[in-house]
Amino acid sequence: MHKGKTSRRRRINDQPKTGTNIKVSFKKVLQFKFLDAQPHPSFSVTSLSPKISALSDELAEIYKLYRFVSVNFEFQAQSEFQQALQPEYAIQYVPAEQSNAAIAASPPELIDYEGPAVGYWQNSRGRPFRYTIPSTVLNAMPLNWYETESSSTSAEDFIQGHLYISTTAPGVSSIRCLAHFTIEYQTLVAPEFISNQLSKLRELEKRENSRAMYTKRPTQTVDGWSQVSLEEDEATAMAQNKRSSSHASERPILVQKYTR
């Protein structure tokens, strides 16, 4: 029996990872907005950067570098169109180094989409369409890492790539999909600030734990009244009896002392 070759993911030439590296994987409902480009199909351009979601943008404020290592989209089938119309969609991912500003100025036709990262579907297909950016294309980036802040003069330093979508659907202003991202971050912006915040959280947890130790734990509530446990009642009664007996034994001694 002939054994086929096992496919392996292309490795990224990378610098040694530090202890501050993290990898996050999450899902998001992503919306692509179309521009009417008559007589061409409606066109949409989305940058692949931390600005694509609120979670990735918040992490970008903590870390200096990022990179997307996995990107998947799932477009749901829509039933509001008639079968005769059969609106078509085409999608393509282009790394930032190869992105061309002239594409947005002159939107392409659907038949102009070609390459290893092209997807095509029709809404009348009756089931969701899943699109995955090939790892060989997603990892074929000019830089190993990208900056999280757009302080650089070149967009290639903080944008990993662009997603292009065209559609023949009439009067469609946007389309949504379920996106699944996996992003890696590296190098903390301010390690001292993060460590201070962690120490404050630990102190707060200690205070809350100490308060919980001295707080009475209520048992079940009967007729709207909260009752403490029987053991606590007995311990309280014994303590009160001990105080009263000790005070009673001390009073005669004090009186005799001052009456002599």
Rounded distance between C-alpha atoms, residue 172 and residue 170, angstroms: 6
Q: What was the pLDDT predicted at 204?
A: 82
User: pLDDT in tens for each of the 260 residues of the chain?
Assistant: 444 444 444 444 455 555 678 999 999 999 999 987 676 788 899 999 999 999 999 999 889 899 999 999 999 876 555 555 678 899 999 887 665 555 555 567 888 899 999 999 987 667 899 999 999 999 887 778 999 875 555 666 788 989 999 998 877 888 999 999 999 999 888 776 666 767 777 888 888 887 776 655 555 555 544 444 445 555 566 666 666 555 555 444 444 444 44
Residues contacting residue 37 through CB under 8 Å, at least 6 positions apart: 43, 107
Residue 130 pLDDT: 95
Given the candidates 2.40.50.70, 3.40.50.800, 3.30.40.230, 2.60.120.20, the CATH classification of the domain at 22-194 is 2.60.120.20
Residue 130: which of 75, 179, 192 has the closest Cα?
Answer: 75
0.85 exceeded by the pTM? no
What are the distances in angstroms from CA 207 to CA 138, 204, 215, 216? 47, 5, 12, 16
State the residue for tokens 């009664």. Answer: 237
65 within 8 A of 186, measured Cβ to Cβ: yes
Write the CA distances from 81 to 68, 170, 203, 205, integer angstroms. Answer: 34, 10, 59, 56
- Which pLDDT does position 2 carry in this prediction? 42
